[in-house]
A and B are shown apart, each in its own frame.
Chain A
Amino acid sequence: NSKVIQTPRYLVKGQGQKAKMRCIPEKGHPVVFWYQQNKNNEFKFLINFQNQEVLQQIDMTEKRFSAECPSNSPCSLEIQSSEAGDSALYLCASSLSWGDSYEQYFGPGTRLTVL
């Protein structure tokens, strides 16, 4: 199945702390997506990249999150100042290309708990 690697699997932070998680996409997949799944199982798209360039991101991501996919390094998603409402499962996915015709492969997720 999927070979997307996410670390750490679990992350616990206090409010106001930075929270950083990493993702290594499947080999040969230049497109990377980040999603947030809340405790009600609702998924929210956060941001995606093609190689090192941001394709799309939502407003929340622009303001409080920083993300990057540097060349030859894992992609990362960092919350600058964690809030209780950020507690969620953060899922990284990768695909061969961008658009409707390309299957996304998901990693196991990083479960963030903000105390």
Chain B
Amino acid sequence: GDQVEQSPSALSLHEGTGSALRCNFTTTMRAVQWFQQNSRGSLINLFYLASGTKENGRLKSTFNSKESYSTLHIRDAQLEDSGTYFCAPYGNEKITFGAGTKLTIKP
């Protein structure tokens, strides 16, 4: 079946710093979606990309279909950015969720 790998599985950042989350997939995907899941379980849509790069505030995401990966960059991290981040690439008329990256932001 389709395989989706997210890295790192967990990440701790101090406020004001930044990092990148990675999502690799083993088959060609047509699009990718990134979500933040907060402590109450709600899935917040961050990005949907069919190609290229999108930016929204302190977040930026890139999707490279040819090389089968996507990245999510966070800069100037804030406490409210804490949560679990999931990538969900689209292919074969379904989405497949990665295992998530648990992000903890420290003061």
Are A109 and B94 also in contact (CB < 8 A) when A100-B31, A101-B31, A103-B33 are?
no
Contact string, B38-67, partner A, CB cutoff 8 A, digits 1/0?
Answer: 001111110010100000000000000000
B41, A89: Cβ atoms under 8 Å? yes
- Nearest CB of chain A from residue B58's CB, rounded to whole Å: 16
A-chain residues with CB within 8 Å of residue B50 when the two chains form the complex:
101
A104 within 8 A of B: yes
Quick check: is A65 within 8 A (CB to CB) of the other chain? no
- Are the C-beta atoms of B84 and A104 separated by less than 8 Å? no
Q: How many residues of B are in contact with the other chain, CB < 8 A?
A: 25
Q: Does A22 sit within 8 A of B, measured CB to CB? A: no
Chain A nearest CB: distance from B98 CB in Å?
9
Q: Is the CB of B99 within 8 A of A42?
A: yes
**Are B41's CB and A43's CB within 8 A?**
no
Whether B41 and A98, one on each chain, are in contact in the complex, defined by CB atoms closer than 8 angstroms, is: no
Closest Cβ–Cβ distance, residue B65 to chain A (whole Å): 11
Q: How far is the CA of A109 from the CA of B2 in the complex (A)?
A: 25
B45 contact set on A, CB distance < 8 A:
1-2, 103, 105-106
Bound complex: CA A105 to CA B33 (Å): 10
Q: Which residues from A are CB-within-8-Å of B94?
A: 45
On chain A, the residues within 8 Å of B95 by CB distance are 104
Question: Are the CB atoms of B43 and A101 closer together than 8 Å?
Answer: no
- The 8 A CB mask of A72-115 against B (1 = contact, 0 = none) is 00000000000000000101000000111101111011010000
Give the complex CA separation of A105 and B35 in angstroms: 10
- Return chain B residues, CB-CB under 8 Å to A99: 93
Whether the pair B99, A109 counts as a contact (CB closer than 8 A) is: no
- Minimum C-beta distance from B39 to chain A (A): 12
Tell me which of A42, A45, A91, A106 has the highest count of chain B C-beta atoms within 10 A of its own C-beta.
A106
Could you list which residues of chain B lie within 8 angstroms of chain A, going by C-beta atoms?
Answer: 29-31, 33, 35, 40-45, 48, 50, 84, 86, 88, 90-95, 97, 99-100
- A residues engaging B (CB < 8 A)? 1-2, 37, 41-43, 45, 89, 91, 98-101, 103-106, 108-109, 111
